């Protein structure tokens, strides 16, 4: 028998950071969508009219003046998305208003890769600059159920965004690659 | 797998973070999210001790010791991983000691009877009848490993769903610690950990979810 969880209960996991002014009560994972409390001293509550220096001074004089700030928990989306099939694509060539990509079935990985052609208009405007040979994207087909209950069939493309690495990081990666290449050549 | 009524995935890290860095504009400037997403993000709070904001496909919450990025849109699981990888490739010197990958599902059961049977299978009540009256399963947490070679500690939690009447909540979590050998400084180990573990974990979690509901049919 299972027991319905009719009321929310907080777990006893209390994170106590080194800083004495913060006390955070974490809810149990399923309760993460509820609120939890974040205790904060007024000195950290930065507002447009806050004179931080003055408040910090007051805090040192009276450390008991804590304020409770209510933080939102993790929020569930009111709508629902059901993915029917997903692919990972790699752009092979780009023409004026279309691009060709090799798509790998991520839902059924046993299926062979296929070549597909996409209209550039299907790509979100914010992603269009990313469409180039070698770019990788996620392609999902599914349903979107709105809050009002309307079901729509959707096809969505989202291009992978890689971090812009610093020169130092790039140098480090290239140096590692050179070392590996040298090692492999010497092994031969 | 039976289509869940609701699902989600999250990445949680324990370490030492500077929440004020984690702003939509910063993510936009680093081109980790679209400029439109950065502009239209809903900021709840961004301060020295906490940052919390959401876009239409993810929510980010960073405290000084805890980083969480979360989505309930199954189309965005890959992008969620990429986002976390991107952030910690840039913030490579941020101390991160633990990474947790999480997936959860809320399933509807075909009947109350099946719902009870799942509870009975997972936690037989016979031993409990002698101890308490009306024993029922509120929460079950199993711990193990995904496979023999897996480096992470895997936990599966089963509970009655808070969201769906007579539904089952399944949560799968795998926890990875900073390696004790190799380049473990800061967050340098995080991108490769997520890149290597994400896909096998997600496939495992779906398979685990698939196996829970049939327990009520026996």
In degrees, rounded to 5, the angle at the alpha carbon of residue B50 between the alpha carbons of residues B45 and B55 is 50
- A165·B89 Cβ contact <8 A: yes
Query: B49: which chain A residues are within 8 Å (Cβ-Cβ)?
Result: 22, 38, 40, 44
Please state, in angstroms and rounded to a whole number, the distance separating the CA atoms of residues B37 and B28: 8
Chain A nearest CA to B119, separation (Å):
5
* Residue A60: its H or E element: helix A52-61
- pLDDT score recorded for residue B61: 94
- pLDDT score recorded for residue A25: 37
- pLDDT score recorded for residue A171: 87
* Residue B180: its H or E element: none
Chain B CB within 8 Å of residue A129 CB: no
Q: Where are the beta strands (DSSP E) in chain A?
A: 14-15, 24-25, 36-40, 67-71, 80-94, 98-105, 114-119, 136-145, 151-159
Chain B interface, best mutation among A1, A2, A43, A135, by max B CB count within 10 A? A2
Please state, in angstroms and rounded to a whole number, the distance separating the CA atoms of residues B194 and A166: 21
Chain B CB within 8 Å of residue A168 CB: no
Query: Torsion angle of alpha carbons A42, A44, A50, A53, nearest 10°?
Result: 100
pLDDT means over runs of 10, chain A (188 residues): 49 38 41 49 44 37 52 73 95 95 93 95 95 96 93 96 80 88 86
- pLDDT score recorded for residue A81: 92
What is the value of ipTM here, to two decimals?
0.89
- pLDDT score recorded for residue A67: 58
| C-alpha A85, offset from chain centre | 21
Chain B CB within 8 Å of residue A173 CB: no
Please state, in angstroms and rounded to a whole number, the distance separating the CA atoms of residues A123 and A130: 10
A1 vs B35, B54, B120: nearest CB: B120
- pLDDT score recorded for residue A66: 52
B74 vs A17, A81, A165: nearest CB: A81
Query: A38: which chain B residues are within 8 Å (Cβ-Cβ)?
Result: 49-50, 63
Please state, in angstroms and rounded to a whole number, the distance separating the CA atoms of residues A131 and A154: 21
Cβ contact B167:B104 at 8 Å: no
Cβ contact A112:A72 at 8 Å: no
Instruction: Show which of residues 110-149 on chain B sit within 8 Å of chain A, judged by CB atoms.
Output: 115-116, 118-120, 125, 135-138
Query: Torsion angle of alpha carbons B193, B191, B4, A85, nearest 10°?
Result: -110
Q: Which residues of chain B have pLDDT under 70?
A: 1, 181-184
| C-alpha B20, offset from chain centre | 23
């Amino acid at each position: 028998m299972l027991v319905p969880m009719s009321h929310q209960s907080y777990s006893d996991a209390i994170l106590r950071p080194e800083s004495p002014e913060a006390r955070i009560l974490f809810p149990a994972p399923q309760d993460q969508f509820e609120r939890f409390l974040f205790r904060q001293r007024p000195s950290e509550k930065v507002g447009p009219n806050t004179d931080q220096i003055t408040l910090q001074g007051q805090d040192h004089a009276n450390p008991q003046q804590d304020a409770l700030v209510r933080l939102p928990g993790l929020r569930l989306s009111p709508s629902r998305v059901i993915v029917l099939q997903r692919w990972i694509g790699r752009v092979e060539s780009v023409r004026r208003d279309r691009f060709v990509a090799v798509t790998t079935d991520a839902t059924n990985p046993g299926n062979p890769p296929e070549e597909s052609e996409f209209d550039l208009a299907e790509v979100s405007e914010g992603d269009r600059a990313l469409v180039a040979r070698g770019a990788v994207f996620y392609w999902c087909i599914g349903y979107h159920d709105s809050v009002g209950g309307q079901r729509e069939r959707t096809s969505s493309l989202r291009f992978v965004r890689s971090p812009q690495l610093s020169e130092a990081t790039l140098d480090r990666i290239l140096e590692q690659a050179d070392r590996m290449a040298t090692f492999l050549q010497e092994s031969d | 797998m039976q289509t869940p009524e609701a699902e989600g995935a999250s990445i949680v890290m324990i370490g030492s973070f500077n929440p004020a860095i984690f702003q939509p504009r910063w993510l936009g400037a680093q081109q980790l999210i679209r400029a439109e997403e950065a502009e239209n993000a809903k900021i709840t709070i961004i301060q020295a001790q906490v940052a919390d904001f959401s876009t239409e496909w993810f929510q980010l919450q960073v405290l000084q010791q805890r980083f969480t990025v979360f989505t309930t849109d199954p189309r965005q699981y890959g992008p969620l991983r990429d986002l976390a990888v991107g952030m910690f490739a840039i913030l490579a010197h941020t101390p991160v000691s633990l990474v947790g990958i999480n997936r959860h599902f809320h399933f509807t059961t075909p009947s109350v009877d099946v719902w009870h049977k799942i509870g009975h299978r997972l936690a037989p009540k016979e031993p409990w009848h002698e101890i308490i009256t009306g024993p029922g399963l509120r929460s079950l947490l199993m711990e193990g490993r995904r496979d023999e070679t897996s480096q992470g500690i895997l936990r599966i939690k089963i509970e009655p769903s808070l969201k769906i009447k007579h539904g089952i909540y399944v949560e799968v979590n795998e926890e990875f610690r900073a390696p004790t050998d190799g380049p473990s400084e800061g967050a340098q180990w995080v991108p490769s950990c997520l890149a290597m573990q994400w896909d096998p974990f997600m496939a495992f979690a779906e398979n685990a979810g698939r196996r829970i509901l049939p327990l009520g049919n026996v």
